[in-house]
Amino acid sequence: MFNFLQSLILRPLLSSMIALRALRRNKLRSVLTALGIIIGVCSVVVMVSVGNGAQVRIETEVSSLGQNLLIVFAGNRRSGGVNSGLGSASRITLEDAHALKREIPDIAGLSPEVSTNAQAIANGKNWSTTISGQAPDFTTIRNWKIAGGTMFSEREVRSAAKVAVIGSKTANELFGPVNPIGKSVRIKNTPFVIIGLFESKGAGMGGQNQDDQIVIPYTTAMKRLTGDKYPRLLSIQVVSADRMETARQQITSLLRQRHRLAPDDVNDFNIFDQKELSDKVASISGIITTLLGAIAGMSLLVGGIGIMNIMLVSVTERTREIGIRVAVGAQAGDILMQFLIESITLSLLGGTIGVLAGVGISKAVSLFADFQAVISPGSVILAFSVSFAIGVFFGFYPARKAAKLDPIDALRYE
Amino acid sequence: MSGPVIQLDHIAKVYRSGEVEVHAVRRATLDIQRGEFVAIMGSSGSGKSTLMNILGCLDRPTGGRYLLDGVNVAELSRAQLATLRNLKLGFVFQSFHLLARTTALENVELPMFYSKPLIPLRTQRKRAIEALKKVGLGDRLGHRPSQLSGGQQQRIAIARALVNEPELVLADEPTGNLDSRTSIGIMGFFQELNDTGITIVMVTHELDIASYCKRIIVMRDGLVISDTPNESRRNAGEERLKLDTAEQNANLA
């Protein structure tokens, strides 16, 4: 039992002592060798945590576009192929919109949208902004909160009232710190009364500012500003995530029926699922994270080869030392253990410093970038155990070479 | 045990380099008893170093039988040979073979690192200090080989050879790199050691070094050509005195 304990614990402990002494004797070289692993581990940790952080950021952004969102818009007319029949012009009409909302119970909210860019004039200033015609459901569908005043009502939509709800950025440009509610804004010579103010959402994807907009009833927008007879698209919120597919099918069949499409006709409209986008974005950013991690992993491999290189040099350089040790009674196993522990120590040292540096750099990135790097314990543990494995793997060959040396040749080696 | 420490029976060593066979040692047959102090002499290429390596279990003979302390060395595994070297043999080399950038103390501790059963670290330290005191280096424990003279380095090597209390000390040209005054000092150590009962086998090509030993074996072309007791054995202490007097006279003149 005691013998067993000796060979399992005390022997390796002694070997570690010898190994540590050897590493201490060559401080600069040890540090430089570990540097390969430090950089490798550090870049794995940074890449993965920054990648994860970016992914989380993108996902929250996509979901801020609205929950369970379907967007219906008119399809392109097919040129060539099947000739579309009379009256199948690719349009989504307001009647379509009303029918959808009336007949499909899974639709929680629906907003026909028209939009244009126009100069808004108020308070003696003018500002070019997006004018968006929407239904009252717009706030719930697109996740907008009202900071002051109210959203316009269904009645104001029906009467094509000249009322507007204004984005925080636009309000700031036109009115500065003054409360805009109750004030008047002129858009294309039509005066609108501002009845509400949106809460700020911050910059959206692609850098366009979501807070720079004026939302008015779609009826007013079509009649007064754009002259459109049809909405550009319909934003539809489905009651819950698990009803998305049913809702989509119901919308499809109702629109096909209303557009009088034959069973073999292709849809003359498109339904776009917000979830599809977010899934796609998530999978792309996942791929990018994996790719970055793989590149970083490559540098870990290079670091491992660096360790092997230095260990081989070290074995050659210390041939006489090995000879002396063998002459005074070291077993092949003792020598193997000594060199293996040296390489493992180097790589674990590198791993530890690398993880610390990686976490530090990730935190620094979080300070400067507009997203939080997410340090996953998984990547830290992975990087650490990989560096250990590298120590064993790349240390084994040189260590075995050392252990196999013939004592006489080793002693004579100059 | 009372039998001879070393029994060689027709030991041969043949090196093969391509087509050519080199007979480094041929038919060496000799016994070395406990407490002997043997010099193996010969010019370079006579096979004395090869024989020494075989005695030290660093090399295996290609023919014949070698019993060390009654054990047939040919039957031992590499690991068992390592244990044997660790516990029964002490080595002293011409070029000292100390670990560079390692303190005297750590150098002397080295064999105990590999001892089985394991020696507690505190005991290792204590024994290493004792061994260094015995060779007169008790005040140089923390010095590195590069900070010490050749004679001091060789004394560290002797301390290392003695620390595991071996049956047999093997010395390969121990004075080869030292001046004559230091050589006499080292030989004095060996004589003192031998007086305490430790068997010593030493390889040298210098007759005046061999003359401190009790028995002289001469080799040529791999053969033992003479094996005689040393009638006119010199005493290192007396030689030292003679040298001192001679030097004083030279200074006076």
CATH code, domain with B87: 3.40.50.300
pLDDT higher at A274 or B135: B135
By Cβ distance, the residue of A6, A328, A332 closest to B78 is: A332
- Looking at residue A89, the DSSP 8-state letter turns out to be -
Buried b (16+ CB within 10 A) or exposed e, A325-345: bbbbbbbbebbbbbbbbbbbb
Interface test with A, best of B13, B53, B58 (most A CBs within 10 A): B58
Is residue B191 situated within a structural domain?
yes
Mean predicted confidence (pLDDT) in B240-251: 86
On the question of pLDDT at A275 being above 80, the answer is no
Mean model confidence pLDDT for chain B: 90
Question: Alpha-carbon distance B197 to B182, whole Å?
Answer: 23
Least confident segment among A90-94, A136-140, B28-32, B167-171: A90-94
Q: What is the pLDDT of residue A155?
A: 92
A225-229 contacts at long range (C-beta below 8 A, 24 or more positions apart): A225/A116, A225/A118, A225/A131, A225/A133, A225/A187, A225/A188, A225/A190, A226/A114, A226/A115, A226/A116, A226/A133, A228/A114
Under the banding of pLDDT at 50, 70 and 90, the label for residue B220 is very high
Q: What is the pLDDT of residue A4?
A: 61
Is-contact A49 A373, C-beta < 8 A?
yes
Is B79 within 8 Å of chain A by CB? yes
Q: What is the pLDDT of residue A79?
A: 44
Is residue B214 situated within a structural domain?
yes
Four-CA torsion A381, A387, A388, A389, nearest 10 degrees: 110
Is residue B71 situated within a structural domain?
no
On the question of pLDDT at B188 being above 60, the answer is yes
CB count, 10 Å around CB of B54? 24
- Looking at residue A217, the DSSP 8-state letter turns out to be E
Q: What is the pLDDT of residue A86?
A: 42
Residues A308-340 pLDDT 10s: 898 899 889 889 999 999 999 999 988 998 899
Under the banding of pLDDT at 50, 70 and 90, the label for residue A245 is confident
Query: pLDDT exceeding 90 applies to what percent of chain A?
Result: 23
On the question of pLDDT at B164 being above 60, the answer is yes
pLDDT higher at A107 or A4: A107
Under the banding of pLDDT at 50, 70 and 90, the label for residue A80 is very low
Is residue B129 situated within a structural domain?
yes
Is-contact A271 A251, C-beta < 8 A?
yes
In chain B, what residues touch A411 (CB-CB under 8 Å)? Answer: 58, 93, 97
Q: What is the pLDDT of residue A5?
A: 63
Mean predicted confidence (pLDDT) in B189-196: 91
Select from B139, B136, B187, B192 the least CA-distant residue to B159. B136
In chain B, what residues touch A329 (CB-CB under 8 Å)? Answer: 82-83, 85-87, 111, 114-115, 164
The CA distance from A388 to the nearest CA of chain B, in Å, is 26
Q: Which H, E and C letters describe A200-216, residue by residue?
A: CCCECHHHCECCCEEEE
Residues A123-144 pLDDT 10s: 888 889 999 999 999 998 888 8
On the question of pLDDT at A85 being above 50, the answer is no
On the question of pLDDT at B203 being above 90, the answer is yes
Conformational region of residue A87, where left means phi above 0, alpha means psi within -120 to 50, and beta covers everything else: left
Q: Angle between the A332-368 and A319-327 helix axes, to the nearest 10 degrees?
A: 130
Query: Which residues touch A298 (CB under 8 Å, ≥6 apart)?
Result: none
Range of the domain at B175: 34-57+77-218+226-252
Q: What is the pLDDT of residue B51?
A: 92
Do A328 and B111 count as a contact with CB atoms less than 8 A apart? Answer: yes
Is-contact A88 A76, C-beta < 8 A?
no
Complex-level ipTM: 0.91
On the question of pLDDT at B7 being above 90, the answer is yes
Under the banding of pLDDT at 50, 70 and 90, the label for residue B13 is very high
Least confident segment among A50-59, A253-262, B55-64, B184-193: A50-59
Mean predicted confidence (pLDDT) in B148-165: 93
Number of domains in chain B: 1
**What is the rounded radius of gyration, in angstroms, for the C-alpha atoms of chain A?**
34
The CA distance from A341 to the nearest CA of chain B, in Å, is 16
**How many residues are there in chain A?**
414
Interface test with B, best of A8, A324, A328 (most B CBs within 10 A): A328
Pairing of strands B199-204, B168-172: parallel
By Cβ distance, the residue of A325, A333, A408 closest to B53 is: A408
Is residue B92 situated within a structural domain?
yes
Q: Match 């992914």 to its residue by tokens.
A: A55
Strand order in the sheet with B215-220: B89-92, B168-172, B199-204, B37-41, B215-220, B223-229
A residues 9..38 contacting B (CB < 8 A): 10-11, 14, 18, 21, 25
Mean predicted confidence (pLDDT) in B6-22: 90
Structure pTM?
0.72
Is residue B167 situated within a structural domain?
yes
**What is the rounded radius of gyration, in angstroms, for the C-alpha atoms of chain B?**
19
Question: Alpha-carbon distance B184 to B212, whole Å?
Answer: 9
Q: What is the pLDDT of residue B87?
A: 92
Under the banding of pLDDT at 50, 70 and 90, the label for residue B228 is very high
The CA distance from B185 to the nearest CA of chain A, in Å, is 24
Is residue B42 situated within a structural domain?
yes
> Helices (H) and strands (E) in chain A — how many of each?
14, 10
Do B82 and A331 count as a contact with CB atoms less than 8 A apart? Answer: yes
Question: Alpha-carbon distance A245 to A237, whole Å?
Answer: 12
Mean predicted confidence (pLDDT) in A29-48: 89
Query: Which residues touch B209 (CB under 8 Å, ≥6 apart)?
Result: B39, B175, B183, B187, B202
The CA distance from A2 to the nearest CA of chain B, in Å, is 10
Mean predicted confidence (pLDDT) in A193-207: 76
Residues B132-141 pLDDT 10s: 998 889 999 9
Calculate the CA B203 to chain-centre distance.
8
